[in-house]
Amino acid sequence: MLHAEFLEHLIEDEEKIRQEVFVSEQGFENEFDDIDNIATHMTLYNDADAVGCCRFFPGEEKGEYIIGRMAVRKASRGQSMGRRILEMAIQHLKDTGASKISLSAQVQAKGFYEALGFQAKGNVYMDEHCPHIHMEKLL
């Protein structure tokens, strides 16, 4: 059964997922940062197995939250886990009064976010070695 944990600190399960996906698979070097200290962290579990995660934190605008570091373990991909993570995070943010969600999407995942109501804003830019685009969704 799928369930999510929302915590005010980074936990080992999330750290392992991010290490596997962003560092080992994708080659990012600066995966962990000071935002981890202020963000709410969500980990998605399928029964007892941690399958994916994300984090979110307040943006500059009133009611804005920024979602980031969304990842799904390779063994759980193709099962709509990414969609479930994002849907659960959006619902959690709606319940806490958010009016806008922003994120920095890898360009190869742009269509995934568009299917969930996000719109691209601005130009493509590089984050380390990977092209990204800013995306937003009004709630």
What is the rounded CA–CA span in Å between residue 104 and residue 110? 10
- SS3 (DSSP) at 67: strand
Q: In order of start, what are the domains of the chain with their CATH numbers?
A: 2-138 (3.40.630.30)
pTM for the model stands at 0.94
Hey, which bits of the chain come out as E strands?
2-7, 40-46, 49-58, 64-72, 100-106, 119-127, 130-138
Query: Mean pLDDT for the chain?
Result: 97
Task: Dump pLDDT digits (tens) for 39-85.
Answer: 999 999 999 999 999 999 999 999 999 999 999 999 999 999 999 99
